[in-house]
Structure formats: structure tokens, C-alpha cells
Homo-oligomer: A and B are copies of this chain.
Amino acid sequence: MSGHTTVSLAALQNVAHRLRIDSIRSTTEAGSGHPTSCLSAAEIMATLFFGEMRFDPKNPRHEQADRFVLSKGHAAPILYAAWAEAGAFDRDELLKLRTIGSDLEGHPTPRLAFVDVATGSLGQGLCAAIGTALNARRIGSDYRTYVLIGDGESAEGSVWEAAQAAVFHRLDNLCAITDVNALGQSRATQWGHHMEEFARRWRAFGWHAIVVDGHDVAALLAAYQEARRTKGQPTMILARTEKGKGSSQVEGKDGWHGRPFKKGEEADAAVAEIEARIVRTDGTLPIAAPPGRASASAAPNPGRMPAPKYTKGDKVATREAYGAALAALGAVDPRVVALDADVGNSTYSNAFAAALGDRFYQFFIAEQAMVGAAMGLAARGAIPFPSTFACFLTRAADFIRMAGISSVNVKFAGSHAGVSIGEDGPSQMALEDLALMRAVPNCTVLYPCDGVSAERLVAAMAASSGPAYLRTSRPKTPVIYEASEEFPIGGSKVLRQSDRDVATVVAAGVTVFEALDAHDRLARDGVAIRVIDAYSVQPIDAATLVASGRATGGRLITVEDHYVAGGLGDAVSEAVAGERIAVHRLAVREIPRSGRPAELLDRYGISAAHIVSAVKTLQQD
């Protein structure tokens, strides 16, 4: 809006005072929290919410509304205070801060309608803000994204990944503010109040940087205006502030991070000191409305993806099928976007890029920014598929953790899983990705073995709610399913069975073929086994596993191209925990080395030969 020039500066300053008081009162009542980190940001928050942003306090998720991301999530109390001040909810609620019955948690989560992504793990907000800014471009909106970051968190590398990505994507609809209060948790920050240290870095990375007094409401308003006028590049407003500003007990003092004022005299004095600064002004501050109308029907009506085109016996890598499916899905659903970290020609997301380049976002080798942006996109209605080598998703593990807490629809795809990649060696082999992803309790974890299941599972994960992960493999594998086969999440496929089965082998991905091979070898010796393709690792098909375990003498063997901890074996084991079934795990148990795929499968104990001997050993028990 341009209306802020008419806003009363005194009224804005009063808002800042009130936000300070609310931050003190709520943290004192909670007995924990970070009031001094709120106090430094009071003028920034007051001017953003009541002099700059366009939003609807009664409909914070309005698709055209400007976005605000509080990257320094420990300042949550002032975020809550700002929304209460705006009328989103009753101010009295603030005193329930951090209690189990309230959604006003210690750090913001999307349990609150006005929070897009959970913050509190520092250095993530700017990445998410890139996502919300890219989303504006996707839906053709001129809404803007604002993000408040701390000076301390500027040490996180993810901030500089985001700095690069925002410039590469020319996000002039993005305005970041750094609250330079000079004090970290345990000590002064690296750069203290040397504002030029910040400005030099941001300018070197290609941002328009503005240094202002962060307690000067007029200067802040002018900076926002300058940011809006800045075209072709994002703006960073570097606001010099004092931690604990407004309370002489704590202002600029070290040792007050994460410490509330004590109830009684200490808190009362702080509140009184600030209250005394409130001046009389007339009327209330108007809040600027979102720039456009919210769509009557936000729910899209995507087309149905065509069936896979493979026929049984075709040889195709699941990563290749992923790329094909992603492009097909994107063609019928405008919400689908793809994000890459310079490996699109390995993950095959380049198939999407070729067809739908305007919804393909390149992040170069910066996995944290890629995943963070995906979180922001998902929070705004997109269905983002960030993909890279599965092992390099580990680089963004903390972002994946926060995606879980945010419950956003990010659809991760990791290629080159396991020792089956062969010669590149252990640094390129994901052998802990299932553990990582299963440890996100609301994350769907899928692991196809062939082209048909890979394609079907891409569609299934897009339709699912919350984060999901698809694990793909490097080698070509034969197509074993008819193109018409369905793969519901939580299901499995029993590939071989007879009423003479002495054991059940549960496999997924490349080990399905080892299990089928073992089946045939054992059959030649007159031994029958059941073979299950556990393509849905989380949720896993407990009913089928239990039934198969019972039917095969309580003998379950899992075989996975993954370390033994946290993967398929553990998932199966938990699924059958109610039964007295022994789960025998075949998995990688040491750091592997380079070699040919088949050599490695055998050396690390997950080949058909190992399955055969496991069956024979269990038979003798």
C-alpha cells in the first residue's frame, strides 16, 4: 500500500509500546520465553503490520495477502501480540502463551492460521520466504513477502543459500529485515552493531541493502517503501536495534537471552516504564486489505494423470520413471512445481523442466534453500517436489524435521539410494534416508521397485496430505507390474505365495529383485517362500505382514539397501510387534566402499544368495 504516509507515526509508536508490554506480560505469565528478543523488534513489527502489510486479520490464509515469516521464531510472543493487536484474536489469549491448551506455542507453528511454516530452528525463515515469494509468481499475484531474521541466525549457511537463490530468481517481491540487536544467546554476535559488516555481505550477494535505525518508525516505513520501489532484486533492511529495548533493566545487556521478567516487581516495573511512553492519539490504525480478492474456489480440480506407459519386462530406472511421472503430473495439475539442486539430469526432474520450465526452480547445490523454499510454496497451496540424490537430502535434514512440524505438503524425492549405485562410493549412497524420513511421524515414505509403481506413487504422494518421501534407485530394473495396477499408500504387494511357504521375505526397491531371485533359487531346492514388495514403508501394511508372518511359521526376513537402523526392518518389526514373530534383518551393517552394484549387494549381505541362506538358517531353527 502507499497509504502509510498518512499513518500517524505516534500511533505506530504506541503500537510498538503495546507489543512490548504484551511480550513482557505473556512471557512473565508463562515463566519462560524470550522477551528481550521481542523488545528489539517492536518498531519493526508495528510498522510492518500497521503501516506496510496488506492482510486480513480474520482470514490470515487469504491467498492474495502479504506474507510475514518470523524467522527468529523465539520472538513468537511479539508475533502473537501483533496479530492480537490486529484483531485476529482476543488479547487475553496472549496470557495462555506456552500452555498445553493454547496454540500460542513457545515457537510458532501452523497450528495458528497466521503462521505459514514453523520456525524456531534458526536460519530457515528466509528460505521459506523464497517459497512464498515464488508462489506469488506462480499464481500471478502481487502479494509481497516479509521476513524478519535475527542477526545471530545470519551465521547459518542456509541464510546465504537463500541470499543467492533470491537474487537468482530476482525476487523483488521479497523484503527481509534483520533485527541487528548485537547479542546472541551466549555472547555478543560476531558482528555486533557493525552495520557495514552486514551491508557489505548482502550487497556482495546482490541484494539491495538499507541500513536503518530499527527503533525509528519513520525510517522503517521509508525503508519498506524503498524496498517496494526496488525492482529486479530483493531488499534487505538492516535494522540497528537494542536487545531488550524499552526496559532499562535489560536494554543492551548480555545475559538476558531467553529470560522472562520475574512476576511482580521486576515485570511490573518494566511494563510501567513502557506504559509511561504511550501518548494520546486519535482513532485506530487502518490495516491495509489484501490486494486482490480471495478465489471463490481455492480448491483446484486437477486432471488425472495418464497411466504409465511401460509394459512388463521393460527395463527402466525408478528415478527415470519419477521424472516422467512428475512431468505428466505437472501437465494436469498447476499446483505441482519442481525444485532442483543441480542434479536434474540424474534425478530426471529435468523431464519436468523441459515441459514446464516456468514451474521448475533451480537452487544449484543448495539443498537447504531448496527444501525451505518448498516449505514456503507448500504453505501457499503449491505441491512442491524438491529432488536430489537421496543422500544429499540429508543436508536438509533439519528442514525436513521442520517440514514435519509444519505439516506442509512437501513431496521429497531422493534418487541413487543405497549401495546399488555402485562405483561412486559411500558418500553418494543414501543408506540412512529411510531412518531420517521415518523419524518424521507424519511423513509418508514410499519406495518403488519398478517404473509402474514409481509413476503411480508419484501421483499418490501428490494426492496425500502432509510431507511425503519417494526413494528411487539408480539402476534400471525390470517392470513387474501391469500399467493398470494401483498402489495405495499403506499397501503392499504379495508377489509370490503358496500354502507351503516356510518364510516371508519383505523387500522394497532393488531388493525386490533379489528376493524374487532367491525365491526361484529356493524353489529349485523345493523350498517355497513368500515375497512381499513393501513399497509403502510408512505407513506400512501391518495387516499383510502379520498375516504373512503367521502363515509362514513366524519367519519374517527383511532385506533392504539401507543401514540396519531405522529402515524397512525396523518398520516391519514395529508393525508385527504385537505378534511373537522374529524379524530377521538383512541390511547394510558397515560403511560400504566402491565397487560394482552386484558385488556390493552381495558383499554387504543383501543379495539373493544371502536371502537364500537366511531362509535356510531360519528353517533349521
Residue numbers of A with Cβ under 8 A of B are: 30-33, 73, 98-100, 102-103, 105-107, 109, 111, 118-123, 152-153, 155-161, 164, 168, 184-187, 189-190, 200-201, 203-205, 340, 342-346, 350, 362-366, 368-369, 391-392, 394-395, 397-398, 401-402, 404-405, 407, 422-428, 431-432, 435-436, 438-442, 538, 554, 563-566, 569-571, 573-574, 577-585, 588-591, 593-596, 599-600, 603
Chain B residue nearest to A394 in the complex (CB): B398
* Chain B: CB-nearest residue to A603: B100
In the complex, the chain B residue whose C-beta lies closest to that of A569 is B574
> What's the nearest-Cβ distance from chain B to residue A437, in Å?
9
Q: When the two chains form the complex, which single residue of B159, B423, B441 contacts A563, counting CB atoms closer than 8 Å?
A: B441
Q: How many copies of this kind of chain does the complex include?
A: 2
Say yes or no: A427-B439 contact (C-beta < 8 A), given A157-B160, A161-B155, A186-B345. no
Partner of A423, one of B30, B189, B442: B30
Residues of B within 8 A of A577 (CB): 573, 582-585
User: Are A427's CB and B118's CB within 8 A?
Assistant: yes
Chain B residues, CB < 8 A from A168: 190
Scoring A31, A442, A593 by chain B CB atoms within 10 A of each residue's CB, the highest score goes to: A593
Q: Is the CB of A574 within 8 A of B570?
A: yes
In the bound complex, how far is the Cα of B583 from the Cα of A397, in angstroms? Answer: 28
Determine if A345 and B395 form an interchain contact, defined as CB atoms under 8 angstroms apart.
Answer: no
Please give, as numbers and ranges, the residues of chain B lying within 8 Å of A600 by CB-CB distance.
100
Query: Could you list some 21 contacts between A and B, CB below 8 A?
Result: A32-B424, A98-B425, A106-B423, A119-B427, A120-B424, A121-B392, A152-B342, A152-B365, A155-B365, A156-B161, A157-B159, A168-B190, A186-B350, A201-B205, A394-B397, A395-B398, A402-B427, A435-B435, A435-B439, A441-B563, A565-B571
Contacts of A554 in B (CB 8 A): 580
Shortest CB distance A536–B (Å) = 14
Known contacts A157-B156, A364-B189, A574-B564, A440 near B436 by CB under 8 Å? no
Q: How far is the CB of A602 from chain B (nearest CB, A)?
A: 10
Query: A157-B161, A394-B398, A401-B432 provided; 9 other pairs, C-beta below 8 A?
Result: A98-B425, A106-B428, A107-B425, A118-B427, A123-B365, A155-B364, A155-B365, A566-B570, A580-B582
Smallest CB–CB gap between A240 and chain B, Å?
A: 19
For the complex of A and B, the 9 pairs showing the least CB-CB separation, nearest first, are A157-B157, A120-B427, A100-B595, A204-B204, A397-B397, A566-B566, A432-B439, A106-B425, A160-B160
From the candidates B345, B363, B436, name the one contacting A185 in the complex (CB within 8 A).
B345
Decide: A398 near B398, CB < 8 A? Known: A160-B157, A424-B32, A570-B565.
no
Q: Which of A346, A570, A582, A596 counts the most B-chain CB atoms under 10 A from its CB?
A: A570
CB-defined contacts of A99 to chain B, threshold 8 Å: 594-595
Inside 8 A of A397's CB, which chain B residues have their CB?
394-395, 397-398, 436
Q: Which residues of B contact A111 (CB under 8 A)?
A: 593
Q: Is the CB of A435 within 8 A of B565?
A: yes
The answer to whether A109 and B425 have CB atoms under 8 Å apart is: yes
Q: A531 CA to B593 CA in the complex, in Å?
A: 40
Min C-beta distance of A507 to chain B, whole Å? 17
A132 CB, nearest partner CB in chain B, Å = 19
Do A120 and B428 have beta carbons less than 8 Å apart? yes
Partner of A365, one of B156, B365, B369, B442: B156
Interface pair A582/B579, CB less than 8 Å apart: yes
Known: A427-B402, A441-B591. A164 touches B185 (CB 8 A): no
Q: What is the chain B residue whose CB lies nearest that of A426?
A: B405
Which residue on B lies nearest to A579, using beta carbons? Answer: B582
Given A98-B594, A100-B594, A594-B100, A157 contacting B366 (CB threshold 8 A): yes
Within the complex, which residue of B100, B187, B431, B440 is in contact with A342, where a contact is CB–CB below 8 Å? B187
Give complex CA distance A485, B85 in Å: 57
Contact yes or no, A186 B342, CB < 8 A: yes
